[in-house]
Amino acid sequence: MIIKTKLSTEKNFFRDLKKDLEFDSTSNSQVQETAKSIVNQIKQRGDEALIEFTTKFDNLNKRSVADMEISKSRLMEALDNIPKEIKEDLKQAAERIRAYHNKQKGESWNYKDSDGSSYGQKITPIDSVGLYVPGGKAAYPSSVLMNAIPAKIAGVKNLIMVVPTPSGEQNDLVLAAAMLADVDRVFSIGGAQAIASLAFGTKTIPKVDKIVGPGNAYVAEAKRLVFGTVGIDMIAGPSEITIICDGKTNPDWIAMDLFSQAEHDELSQSILIATDEKFLKSVNESIDRLIEKMPRKEIIKTSLKNRGLFICAKNLSEAAKISNFIAPEHLELSVEHPDQLVDEIFHAGAIFMGKNTCEAVGDYCAGPNHVLPTSGTARFSSPLGVYDFQKRSSLIHLSEKTADSLGRIASNLALGEGLHAHSESANYRVIKKK
Protein backbone atom coordinates (compact mmCIF):
# COMPACT_ATOMS: atom_id res chain seq x y z
CA MET A 1 0.00 0.00 0.00
CA ILE A 2 1.34 3.43 -0.92
CA ILE A 3 1.08 5.95 1.91
CA LYS A 4 2.04 9.53 1.28
CA THR A 5 5.56 10.19 2.61
CA LYS A 6 7.11 13.58 3.36
CA LEU A 7 10.62 14.63 4.34
CA SER A 8 10.93 17.40 6.91
CA THR A 9 13.70 18.90 4.79
CA GLU A 10 11.33 19.56 1.88
CA LYS A 11 10.77 23.16 0.84
CA ASN A 12 7.53 24.56 2.28
CA PHE A 13 7.16 21.50 4.50
CA PHE A 14 4.89 23.08 7.11
CA ARG A 15 2.77 24.89 4.52
CA ASP A 16 2.14 21.61 2.72
CA LEU A 17 1.61 19.74 5.99
CA LYS A 18 -1.15 22.19 6.88
CA LYS A 19 -2.96 21.24 3.66
CA ASP A 20 -2.55 17.54 4.50
CA LEU A 21 -4.23 18.11 7.84
CA GLU A 22 -7.27 19.89 6.44
CA PHE A 23 -10.63 18.29 5.87
CA ASP A 24 -14.06 19.60 4.98
CA SER A 25 -15.68 20.17 8.37
CA THR A 26 -18.79 21.86 7.08
CA SER A 27 -22.06 20.01 7.32
CA ASN A 28 -23.80 19.43 4.05
CA SER A 29 -26.91 21.50 3.43
CA GLN A 30 -29.26 18.52 3.70
CA VAL A 31 -27.99 17.67 7.18
CA GLN A 32 -28.20 21.30 8.25
CA GLU A 33 -31.77 21.80 7.04
CA THR A 34 -33.03 18.50 8.45
CA ALA A 35 -31.45 19.10 11.86
CA LYS A 36 -32.76 22.67 11.97
CA SER A 37 -36.29 21.53 11.16
CA ILE A 38 -36.19 18.81 13.81
CA VAL A 39 -34.82 21.15 16.47
CA ASN A 40 -37.50 23.76 15.74
CA GLN A 41 -40.31 21.17 15.82
CA ILE A 42 -39.16 19.87 19.20
CA LYS A 43 -38.89 23.42 20.53
CA GLN A 44 -42.44 24.22 19.39
CA ARG A 45 -44.29 20.94 19.95
CA GLY A 46 -42.26 19.06 22.55
CA ASP A 47 -43.37 15.53 23.35
CA GLU A 48 -45.75 15.36 20.38
CA ALA A 49 -42.93 15.99 17.88
CA LEU A 50 -40.57 13.69 19.79
CA ILE A 51 -43.00 10.78 19.45
CA GLU A 52 -43.39 11.46 15.72
CA PHE A 53 -39.63 11.57 15.07
CA THR A 54 -38.91 8.51 17.21
CA THR A 55 -41.56 6.55 15.34
CA LYS A 56 -40.24 7.74 11.97
CA PHE A 57 -36.50 7.34 12.47
CA ASP A 58 -36.24 4.56 15.05
CA ASN A 59 -39.36 2.53 14.22
CA LEU A 60 -40.24 2.68 17.91
CA ASN A 61 -43.98 2.92 18.46
CA LYS A 62 -44.74 4.40 21.87
CA ARG A 63 -47.90 6.14 22.97
CA SER A 64 -46.06 8.57 25.20
CA VAL A 65 -42.53 9.79 25.89
CA ALA A 66 -42.92 8.46 29.42
CA ASP A 67 -43.02 4.98 27.88
CA MET A 68 -39.59 5.67 26.38
CA GLU A 69 -37.90 5.89 29.77
CA ILE A 70 -35.74 2.90 30.63
CA SER A 71 -36.13 1.98 34.28
CA LYS A 72 -33.38 1.47 36.84
CA SER A 73 -34.53 -2.13 37.19
CA ARG A 74 -33.92 -2.63 33.45
CA LEU A 75 -30.41 -1.19 33.86
CA MET A 76 -29.71 -3.60 36.70
CA GLU A 77 -31.13 -6.45 34.63
CA ALA A 78 -28.71 -5.54 31.82
CA LEU A 79 -25.80 -5.56 34.26
CA ASP A 80 -26.85 -9.00 35.49
CA ASN A 81 -27.30 -10.31 31.93
CA ILE A 82 -23.88 -9.55 30.47
CA PRO A 83 -21.21 -12.28 30.65
CA LYS A 84 -19.30 -12.41 33.93
CA GLU A 85 -15.91 -11.65 32.32
CA ILE A 86 -17.25 -8.62 30.45
CA LYS A 87 -18.96 -7.40 33.62
CA GLU A 88 -15.69 -7.56 35.56
CA ASP A 89 -13.81 -5.78 32.77
CA LEU A 90 -16.47 -3.06 32.70
CA LYS A 91 -16.25 -2.66 36.48
CA GLN A 92 -12.46 -2.43 36.38
CA ALA A 93 -12.61 0.18 33.64
CA ALA A 94 -15.14 2.19 35.68
CA GLU A 95 -12.97 1.97 38.80
CA ARG A 96 -9.86 3.14 36.93
CA ILE A 97 -11.73 6.02 35.26
CA ARG A 98 -13.19 7.02 38.63
CA ALA A 99 -9.78 6.91 40.37
CA TYR A 100 -8.17 9.13 37.73
CA HIS A 101 -10.96 11.68 37.62
CA ASN A 102 -11.25 11.91 41.41
CA LYS A 103 -7.91 13.72 41.29
CA GLN A 104 -9.42 16.44 39.05
CA LYS A 105 -11.96 17.74 41.54
CA GLY A 106 -11.65 21.50 41.89
CA GLU A 107 -11.83 23.03 45.36
CA SER A 108 -13.10 26.44 46.40
CA TRP A 109 -10.43 28.79 47.77
CA ASN A 110 -10.03 32.24 49.30
CA TYR A 111 -7.45 34.54 50.83
CA LYS A 112 -7.41 37.74 52.89
CA ASP A 113 -5.37 40.89 52.37
CA SER A 114 -3.79 43.04 55.08
CA ASP A 115 -6.97 45.16 55.42
CA GLY A 116 -9.15 42.15 56.18
CA SER A 117 -10.86 41.96 52.80
CA SER A 118 -11.24 38.51 51.28
CA TYR A 119 -11.19 37.21 47.72
CA GLY A 120 -11.73 33.77 46.36
CA GLN A 121 -13.38 31.33 44.02
CA LYS A 122 -16.41 29.17 44.67
CA ILE A 123 -16.64 25.86 42.79
CA THR A 124 -20.13 24.48 42.13
CA PRO A 125 -21.36 21.63 39.94
CA ILE A 126 -23.62 22.07 36.92
CA ASP A 127 -27.13 21.17 38.05
CA SER A 128 -28.25 19.05 35.11
CA VAL A 129 -26.38 17.37 32.24
CA GLY A 130 -27.57 15.42 29.20
CA LEU A 131 -25.48 12.54 27.87
CA TYR A 132 -25.95 11.34 24.29
CA VAL A 133 -24.90 7.75 23.57
CA PRO A 134 -25.11 6.08 20.13
CA GLY A 135 -27.37 3.02 20.27
CA GLY A 136 -28.84 0.15 18.32
CA LYS A 137 -26.29 -2.33 17.01
CA ALA A 138 -23.48 0.04 18.00
CA ALA A 139 -22.23 -0.52 21.53
CA TYR A 140 -20.21 2.20 23.19
CA PRO A 141 -20.24 1.50 26.92
CA SER A 142 -16.86 3.25 27.14
CA SER A 143 -18.54 6.52 26.07
CA VAL A 144 -21.04 6.14 28.91
CA LEU A 145 -18.26 5.65 31.48
CA MET A 146 -16.02 8.42 30.13
CA ASN A 147 -18.80 11.01 30.15
CA ALA A 148 -20.92 10.00 33.11
CA ILE A 149 -18.27 9.26 35.73
CA PRO A 150 -16.57 12.69 35.71
CA ALA A 151 -20.02 14.35 35.74
CA LYS A 152 -21.04 12.47 38.88
CA ILE A 153 -17.67 13.12 40.54
CA ALA A 154 -18.20 16.82 39.84
CA GLY A 155 -21.48 16.62 41.75
CA VAL A 156 -24.02 16.73 38.90
CA LYS A 157 -27.33 15.81 40.53
CA ASN A 158 -29.37 15.15 37.39
CA LEU A 159 -27.58 13.17 34.68
CA ILE A 160 -30.00 12.32 31.88
CA MET A 161 -28.84 9.79 29.28
CA VAL A 162 -30.47 9.43 25.87
CA VAL A 163 -29.77 6.47 23.63
CA PRO A 164 -31.62 5.45 20.44
CA THR A 165 -33.07 1.94 20.41
CA PRO A 166 -34.04 1.27 16.76
CA SER A 167 -36.94 -1.17 16.59
CA GLY A 168 -36.66 -1.54 20.35
CA GLU A 169 -33.13 -2.96 20.20
CA GLN A 170 -31.50 -2.18 23.56
CA ASN A 171 -27.81 -2.81 24.10
CA ASP A 172 -27.14 -4.48 27.44
CA LEU A 173 -23.52 -3.30 27.56
CA VAL A 174 -24.57 0.35 27.22
CA LEU A 175 -27.32 -0.02 29.84
CA ALA A 176 -24.97 -1.88 32.20
CA ALA A 177 -22.43 0.93 31.90
CA ALA A 178 -25.17 3.44 32.74
CA MET A 179 -25.91 1.48 35.90
CA LEU A 180 -22.25 1.33 36.91
CA ALA A 181 -21.80 5.06 36.23
CA ASP A 182 -24.82 6.03 38.35
CA VAL A 183 -26.78 7.70 35.55
CA ASP A 184 -29.99 9.10 37.01
CA ARG A 185 -32.46 8.63 34.13
CA VAL A 186 -32.30 6.99 30.70
CA PHE A 187 -34.59 7.60 27.71
CA SER A 188 -34.72 5.55 24.50
CA ILE A 189 -34.55 8.51 22.13
CA GLY A 190 -31.84 9.58 19.70
CA GLY A 191 -30.87 11.84 16.85
CA ALA A 192 -31.26 15.60 16.60
CA GLN A 193 -34.64 15.23 18.33
CA ALA A 194 -32.96 13.92 21.48
CA ILE A 195 -30.49 16.83 21.55
CA ALA A 196 -33.30 19.38 21.12
CA SER A 197 -35.40 17.70 23.82
CA LEU A 198 -32.55 17.98 26.30
CA ALA A 199 -31.77 21.56 25.30
CA PHE A 200 -35.30 22.99 25.49
CA GLY A 201 -37.03 20.45 27.71
CA THR A 202 -40.41 18.89 27.02
CA LYS A 203 -43.30 17.90 29.26
CA THR A 204 -41.44 14.63 29.94
CA ILE A 205 -37.75 15.20 29.13
CA PRO A 206 -36.01 17.44 31.68
CA LYS A 207 -34.21 20.53 30.37
CA VAL A 208 -30.47 20.31 31.00
CA ASP A 209 -27.71 22.88 31.28
CA LYS A 210 -25.06 21.06 29.24
CA ILE A 211 -25.00 18.26 26.65
CA VAL A 212 -22.06 15.90 26.13
CA GLY A 213 -21.39 12.75 24.16
CA PRO A 214 -20.70 11.65 20.56
CA GLY A 215 -23.18 11.19 17.73
CA ASN A 216 -23.68 11.23 13.97
CA ALA A 217 -23.75 14.28 11.69
CA TYR A 218 -27.35 15.15 12.65
CA VAL A 219 -26.49 14.99 16.35
CA ALA A 220 -23.40 17.16 15.82
CA GLU A 221 -25.42 19.73 13.85
CA ALA A 222 -28.15 19.78 16.51
CA LYS A 223 -25.51 20.40 19.19
CA ARG A 224 -24.20 23.29 17.12
CA LEU A 225 -27.73 24.73 16.82
CA VAL A 226 -28.57 24.58 20.54
CA PHE A 227 -25.20 25.86 21.76
CA GLY A 228 -25.85 29.01 23.76
CA THR A 229 -29.16 27.71 25.03
CA VAL A 230 -27.09 24.98 26.66
CA GLY A 231 -23.40 24.29 26.94
CA ILE A 232 -21.86 21.50 24.86
CA ASP A 233 -18.64 19.54 25.15
CA MET A 234 -17.36 20.03 21.58
CA ILE A 235 -18.10 19.51 17.90
CA ALA A 236 -15.69 16.67 17.28
CA GLY A 237 -13.92 16.08 13.99
CA PRO A 238 -12.55 12.77 12.68
CA SER A 239 -10.39 10.68 14.98
CA GLU A 240 -6.61 11.19 14.78
CA ILE A 241 -3.40 9.55 15.87
CA THR A 242 0.18 10.72 15.52
CA ILE A 243 3.02 8.36 16.43
CA ILE A 244 6.61 9.46 17.00
CA CYS A 245 8.90 6.46 16.80
CA ASP A 246 12.67 6.12 17.15
CA GLY A 247 12.67 2.95 15.04
CA LYS A 248 13.06 0.62 18.02
CA THR A 249 9.46 -0.55 18.21
CA ASN A 250 8.18 -3.63 16.38
CA PRO A 251 6.83 -2.33 13.03
CA ASP A 252 3.78 -4.59 13.38
CA TRP A 253 2.87 -2.79 16.62
CA ILE A 254 3.10 0.60 14.92
CA ALA A 255 1.05 -0.59 11.94
CA MET A 256 -1.73 -1.86 14.20
CA ASP A 257 -1.69 1.35 16.25
CA LEU A 258 -2.22 3.28 13.00
CA PHE A 259 -5.06 0.89 12.11
CA SER A 260 -6.70 1.49 15.49
CA GLN A 261 -7.68 5.01 14.45
CA ALA A 262 -8.01 4.45 10.72
CA GLU A 263 -10.76 1.90 11.32
CA HIS A 264 -13.08 4.53 12.88
CA ASP A 265 -14.05 5.99 9.52
CA GLU A 266 -12.68 7.03 6.15
CA LEU A 267 -11.86 10.57 7.33
CA SER A 268 -9.74 9.43 10.29
CA GLN A 269 -6.10 10.46 10.09
CA SER A 270 -3.09 8.33 11.04
CA ILE A 271 0.37 9.90 10.97
CA LEU A 272 3.75 8.30 11.68
CA ILE A 273 6.82 10.45 12.31
CA ALA A 274 10.12 8.57 12.35
CA THR A 275 13.79 9.48 12.08
CA ASP A 276 14.68 6.68 9.67
CA GLU A 277 13.21 6.15 6.17
CA LYS A 278 14.06 2.44 6.41
CA PHE A 279 11.78 2.12 9.43
CA LEU A 280 8.97 3.81 7.53
CA LYS A 281 9.38 1.20 4.80
CA SER A 282 9.29 -1.58 7.41
CA VAL A 283 6.02 -0.24 8.81
CA ASN A 284 4.59 -0.04 5.30
CA GLU A 285 5.50 -3.70 4.79
CA SER A 286 3.72 -4.56 8.04
CA ILE A 287 0.65 -2.65 6.86
CA ASP A 288 0.55 -4.61 3.61
CA ARG A 289 0.86 -7.90 5.47
CA LEU A 290 -1.61 -7.19 8.28
CA ILE A 291 -4.35 -5.15 6.65
CA GLU A 292 -6.08 -8.06 4.88
CA LYS A 293 -6.78 -9.64 8.27
CA MET A 294 -8.78 -6.61 9.46
CA PRO A 295 -12.59 -6.92 9.40
CA ARG A 296 -12.79 -3.17 8.66
CA LYS A 297 -10.00 -3.29 6.09
CA GLU A 298 -11.84 -1.26 3.45
CA ILE A 299 -12.35 1.64 5.84
CA ILE A 300 -8.71 1.38 6.95
CA LYS A 301 -7.46 1.33 3.36
CA THR A 302 -9.49 4.39 2.40
CA SER A 303 -8.42 6.28 5.50
CA LEU A 304 -4.71 5.53 5.02
CA LYS A 305 -4.80 6.18 1.29
CA ASN A 306 -6.57 9.55 1.56
CA ARG A 307 -5.38 10.92 4.88
CA GLY A 308 -2.54 8.68 6.09
CA LEU A 309 0.90 10.26 6.27
CA PHE A 310 4.49 9.15 6.88
CA ILE A 311 7.00 11.84 7.85
CA CYS A 312 10.76 11.43 8.08
CA ALA A 313 12.26 13.89 10.58
CA LYS A 314 15.93 14.70 11.15
CA ASN A 315 15.75 13.86 14.87
CA LEU A 316 13.29 13.43 17.71
CA SER A 317 13.32 17.12 18.62
CA GLU A 318 12.23 17.98 15.11
CA ALA A 319 9.62 15.23 15.34
CA ALA A 320 8.26 16.92 18.49
CA LYS A 321 8.13 20.26 16.67
CA ILE A 322 6.15 18.68 13.84
CA SER A 323 3.79 17.02 16.32
CA ASN A 324 3.17 20.35 18.05
CA PHE A 325 2.22 21.81 14.67
CA ILE A 326 -0.26 18.94 14.16
CA ALA A 327 -1.63 19.17 17.74
CA PRO A 328 -3.07 15.64 17.49
CA GLU A 329 -5.96 14.13 19.39
CA HIS A 330 -3.84 11.08 20.30
CA LEU A 331 -0.03 11.12 20.41
CA GLU A 332 2.08 8.01 20.96
CA LEU A 333 5.70 8.57 21.98
CA SER A 334 6.99 5.16 20.95
CA VAL A 335 10.57 5.95 21.90
CA GLU A 336 13.19 4.66 24.32
CA HIS A 337 13.08 7.73 26.61
CA PRO A 338 9.53 9.19 26.45
CA ASP A 339 10.03 11.06 29.75
CA GLN A 340 12.61 13.25 28.05
CA LEU A 341 10.74 13.79 24.80
CA VAL A 342 7.46 14.70 26.53
CA ASP A 343 9.06 17.91 27.78
CA GLU A 344 9.12 19.07 24.16
CA ILE A 345 5.43 18.31 23.57
CA PHE A 346 3.05 21.23 24.10
CA HIS A 347 -0.07 20.43 22.07
CA ALA A 348 -1.75 17.03 22.27
CA GLY A 349 -5.05 15.70 23.60
CA ALA A 350 -3.65 12.56 25.21
CA ILE A 351 -0.01 11.42 25.26
CA PHE A 352 0.83 7.71 25.37
CA MET A 353 4.37 7.22 26.60
CA GLY A 354 6.66 4.37 25.63
CA LYS A 355 6.32 1.47 23.20
CA ASN A 356 4.15 -0.55 25.61
CA THR A 357 1.45 2.12 25.80
CA CYS A 358 -0.97 1.86 22.89
CA GLU A 359 -3.78 4.32 22.28
CA ALA A 360 -6.39 1.56 22.51
CA VAL A 361 -5.98 1.14 26.28
CA GLY A 362 -6.69 4.86 26.65
CA ASP A 363 -9.98 4.41 24.82
CA TYR A 364 -11.24 1.90 27.35
CA CYS A 365 -9.58 1.39 30.65
CA ALA A 366 -6.34 3.24 31.45
CA GLY A 367 -8.25 5.90 33.38
CA PRO A 368 -7.77 9.25 31.57
CA ASN A 369 -10.70 10.44 29.48
CA HIS A 370 -11.03 9.42 25.84
CA VAL A 371 -13.10 12.48 24.88
CA LEU A 372 -10.34 14.57 23.35
CA PRO A 373 -9.87 17.69 21.22
CA THR A 374 -9.59 17.01 17.49
CA SER A 375 -8.64 18.93 14.35
CA GLY A 376 -5.75 20.81 15.95
CA THR A 377 -7.90 22.18 18.78
CA ALA A 378 -5.48 20.62 21.30
CA ARG A 379 -3.69 23.95 20.89
CA PHE A 380 -6.34 25.49 23.15
CA SER A 381 -8.56 22.67 24.41
CA SER A 382 -8.25 19.84 26.92
CA PRO A 383 -9.66 16.34 27.43
CA LEU A 384 -13.12 16.09 28.96
CA GLY A 385 -12.82 16.10 32.72
CA VAL A 386 -14.49 16.83 36.03
CA TYR A 387 -13.75 20.53 35.45
CA ASP A 388 -16.15 20.50 32.46
CA PHE A 389 -19.03 19.81 34.85
CA GLN A 390 -18.11 22.49 37.38
CA LYS A 391 -18.59 26.25 37.39
CA ARG A 392 -16.42 28.90 39.02
CA SER A 393 -17.79 31.99 40.77
CA SER A 394 -15.57 34.85 41.93
CA LEU A 395 -15.87 35.97 45.57
CA ILE A 396 -15.14 39.54 46.72
CA HIS A 397 -15.77 40.69 50.30
CA LEU A 398 -14.40 44.16 51.04
CA SER A 399 -13.72 45.71 54.42
CA GLU A 400 -14.72 49.33 54.98
CA LYS A 401 -11.10 50.41 54.60
CA THR A 402 -10.59 48.54 51.31
CA ALA A 403 -13.95 49.75 49.97
CA ASP A 404 -12.68 53.29 50.55
CA SER A 405 -9.33 52.85 48.80
CA LEU A 406 -10.63 50.76 45.89
CA GLY A 407 -13.69 52.97 45.57
CA ARG A 408 -11.51 55.96 44.80
CA ILE A 409 -9.62 54.01 42.11
CA ALA A 410 -12.79 52.57 40.56
CA SER A 411 -14.49 55.99 40.57
CA ASN A 412 -11.68 57.63 38.63
CA LEU A 413 -11.38 54.78 36.14
CA ALA A 414 -15.15 54.76 35.59
CA LEU A 415 -15.15 58.49 34.85
CA GLY A 416 -12.36 57.87 32.36
CA GLU A 417 -14.72 55.48 30.57
CA GLY A 418 -17.65 57.90 30.79
CA LEU A 419 -19.66 55.63 33.10
CA HIS A 420 -20.93 58.02 35.75
CA ALA A 421 -23.24 55.62 37.59
CA HIS A 422 -20.30 53.26 38.07
CA SER A 423 -18.30 56.18 39.47
CA GLU A 424 -21.01 57.25 41.88
CA SER A 425 -21.68 53.68 43.03
CA ALA A 426 -18.03 53.35 44.03
CA ASN A 427 -18.04 56.85 45.59
CA TYR A 428 -20.86 55.92 47.95
CA ARG A 429 -18.41 53.55 49.68
CA VAL A 430 -15.67 56.20 49.97
CA ILE A 431 -15.24 57.43 53.53
CA LYS A 432 -15.99 61.10 53.58
CA LYS A 433 -13.57 63.28 55.52
CA LYS A 434 -15.22 65.20 58.38
Catalytic residue numbers, as ranges = 329-330
Residue 252 CB neighbour total at 10 angstroms: 15
Strand pairing class (390-397; 118-125): antiparallel
**Edge-to-edge, what's the strand order for the sheet holding 390-397?**
109-112, 118-125, 390-397
Helix (H, G, I), strand (E, B) or coil at 217: helix
The C-alpha atoms of residue 209 and residue 11 are separated, in whole angstroms, by 49
The C-alpha atoms of residue 371 and residue 387 are separated, in whole angstroms, by 13
DSSP symbols for 39-87: HHHHHHHTHHHHHHHHHHHH----SSGGGGEEPHHHHHHHHHHS-HHHH
The C-alpha atoms of residue 229 and residue 40 are separated, in whole angstroms, by 13
Q: What's the Rg (C-alpha) of the chain? A: 26
Burial category of 321 from C-beta neighbours within 10 Å (exposed 0-12, middle 13-18, buried 19 and up) = middle
Q: How far is CA 11 from the centre of its chain?
A: 35
